[in-house]
Amino acid sequence: MPFQIDSFDAYLKAQKESQSDPELFWSGIAKHFEWQKPFTEVLSGEMRDGSVRWFADGQINITENALDRHLKERGEQIALQWEPNDPSATSRSFTYRELHEAVSQFGNALRSLGVKKGERIVLYMPMVPELAIAVLACARIGAIHSVVFAGFSAQALSDRIEDAQAAMVITADEGMRGAKTVPLKSTVDEALKENTSVRNVIVKRVTSGKCTMVQKRDVWWEDVIENSGDESHCTPEIMNAEDMLFILYTSGSTGKPKGVVHTHGGYTVYAGYSFANVFQCQPGDVYWCSADIGWITGHTYIVYGPLLQGGTTVMFEGIPTYPDPGRYWAICEKYKVTQFYTAPTAIRALMACGDEHVERHNLETLRVLGSVGEPINEEAWHWYHQKVGQSKCPIVDTWWQTETGGIMISGLGNLSPQKPAHAGYPLPGIHPVLVDPQGTPIHANEKEGLLCIESPWPSMIRTTYGDHERCLNTYFRPFPGRYFTGDGAKRDKDGMYRVIGRVDDVINVSGHRFGTAEIESAINQTSGVIESAVVGCEHEIKGQGIYAFVICERAYEGSEALKMRSAIEAQVVLGIGKIARPDRIQIVEGLPKTRSGKIMRRILRKIASGDYERFGDTSTLLDPSVVAGIVDQARHLQSREQ
Ligand code: WT7
């Protein structure tokens, strides 16, 4: 079975083989990597009871595959190219040899601080090379990394540290994003106020280095490296294929965010395989993914995937509009980027800034453009295709999730047929199915259904950290024998998939995932608030915005209402972070509830989208007049804004 697919026919053949003999197919792919001990078992356990295991008797350390394996052939090739926030600051690059050395040094440093295999380390860092180095160093010594996006609040960070029972936090004094600096160390201090699990905090100096250091607990990055000796070799930990590699927290429809767990063996195989084929990366290519390493996209397609393939991965510290909206294209030109991967929200934001910012850059080297995070609308697709790709680059619209570990449905470079706003066909080895709410498969095309995955794949979620029941209930029990994605999708007449969006109470704001329940629980902590209901609403740039309906203790007028709304906003920023700040807050007198006390979100979604009439069957509502009240008020608010 060839690892690299080079034609659509080869794709069809691979897909067929993966269907008729999945174990033979995946063992062929897995043998492309270096194993500390070869596996004899390929697939064990089953989806029915959420017990799937891959290559379970094999041993493999992902970093030997991402780093050591390349030293001989491409030791002097650039592995990591870092571009600073400030375009006039010095960029930094690491060859495979240098990256191997930096990771080894930091791995030794972690060991010298007593970090043991299996311990959890939380990373709360800006997009500097040390973040990638720390991720890889954890994996090197078998510590389980859990990266928390640096835009989350102290409260959200603290929740994650507690859930993971982390032994260490790695952070920076501050981060730089556009014209702003983001405090990080002080946020960590705040998050650790009541913590008892964290022994040390390692701090990388990124800005002034001015921050309070707690004696005995806090150490500077440079100092730990110095004290661990300058040995540039760090023996990789022997890892069983099913040992945990990382935990990444993501939102669900209920409760607090859950820790999605991925393991060394299966994740290595699928991160490497999907990267090589979707982006059609060849040696010498310069690939850039503009995501943050705090999300799964950054894990799989900034750090692991490109390095497993021996590519050059670009890492950018800043934001798309700083110092001007041409920044992304300036970076593509500067490094002669060949594959570029970004999110529809960024494309829409840049599209709104005008074509001149793209047109003044030479984008000749681009060969493949990627999109991820949410459905890409046709307008943005065409702009991306014509203006950025100069109508010659295919767009790979990649559908996947934190839980899937890697891209599941997408074109493969220029090999696959493409259609705007369609993710297209599944990757080889991936077998999606659409089902109706009763779980009956929908075989006919041009029908909508709930998207499930029929057979196991190597990088699928293994568990939700510390709560396996939750994993079973969310993904494996809704449709026994299948993995349930939480998305609705449609297949067109040619069998190409279009993923429409979430069918649960998860909203996708600028490609970032939030549970409505999680935002509501933050809102409800505002003093004076009794109850709230959050739904997604259409948003021109973000895809979806956050619309909150809130019941307060009493009625507020004018400036008082304004104050209340800012208090609610502040509470969400405190509980989750700025990225979850509601776009609209409507203070209401009541919520549309059924006689059994359930909020009819369907009605609120309609109101939030400006549809004030077609509410469907409302006969189960306890008090239908509540709806009329909310609608009147929404109309009034809207007319005032226009
Ligand atoms: C949800 C997963 C893994 C990438 C980053 C987001 C939506 C993601 C697409 C796409 C339509 C998409 C889905 C999915 N989504 N990519 N190409 N087309 N929808 O990861 O935070 O785990 O969110 O993002 O709704 O379930 P995530």
User: What would the two tokens of residue 560 be?
Assistant: 């008082």
User: What would the two tokens of residue 61 be?
Assistant: 């350390």
Ligand 1 centroid–CA 401 distance in Å is 5
Binned at pLDDT 50, 70 and 90, residue 616 comes out as: confident
With contact defined as beta carbons under 8 Å apart, do 363 and 379 qualify? Answer: no
Ligand 1 centroid–CA 507 distance in Å is 10
Q: What are phi and psi of 22, to 5 degrees?
A: -55, -40
Written as one letter, the residue type at 402 is T
User: Does the C-beta of 487 come closer than 6 Å to ligand 1?
Assistant: yes
User: Does the C-beta of 383 come closer than 6 Å to ligand 1?
Assistant: no
User: Does the C-beta of 488 come closer than 6 Å to ligand 1?
Assistant: no
Q: Quick one: average pLDDT of 115-139? A: 98
Least confident interval from 209-218, 567-576, 630-639: 630-639
User: Does the C-beta of 375 come closer than 6 Å to ligand 1?
Assistant: yes
| pLDDT tens, residue by residue, 36-63 | 999 999 999 999 999 999 999 999 999 9
Q: Which atom of ligand 1 is nearest to the CA of 423?
A: 17
Q: Quick one: average pLDDT of 420-443? A: 97
Q: State residue 291's pLDDT score.
A: 98
Say how many C-beta atoms besides its own lie within 10 A of residue 421's C-beta.
18
Nearest CA to ligand 1 atom 27: 401
Mean pLDDT, the chain, rounded, equals 96
| pLDDT tens, residue by residue, 269-323 | 999 999 999 999 988 899 999 999 999 999 999 999 999 999 999 999 999 999 9
Q: Which atom of ligand 1 is nearest to the CA of 511?
A: 6
User: Does the C-beta of 465 come closer than 6 Å to ligand 1?
Assistant: no
Which residue from 94, 104, 164 is spatially nearest to 134, judged by alpha carbons? 104
Q: Beta partners for 39?
A: none
Q: Which atom of ligand 1 is nearest to the CA of 397?
A: 17
- pLDDT > 80? residue 642: no
Question: 494: which residues sit within 8 A by CB, 6+ positions away?
Answer: 417, 445
- pLDDT > 90? residue 460: yes
Mark residue 10 as left, alpha or beta (left: phi above 0; alpha: psi -120 to 50; beta: remaining): alpha
Binned at pLDDT 50, 70 and 90, residue 367 comes out as: very high
Q: Can you tell me the distance from the alpha carbon of 198 to that of 145, in angstroms, rounded to the nearest whole number?
A: 14
Distances from the Cα of 50 to the Cα of 98, 137, 451, angstroms: 40, 30, 18
Binned at pLDDT 50, 70 and 90, residue 229 comes out as: confident
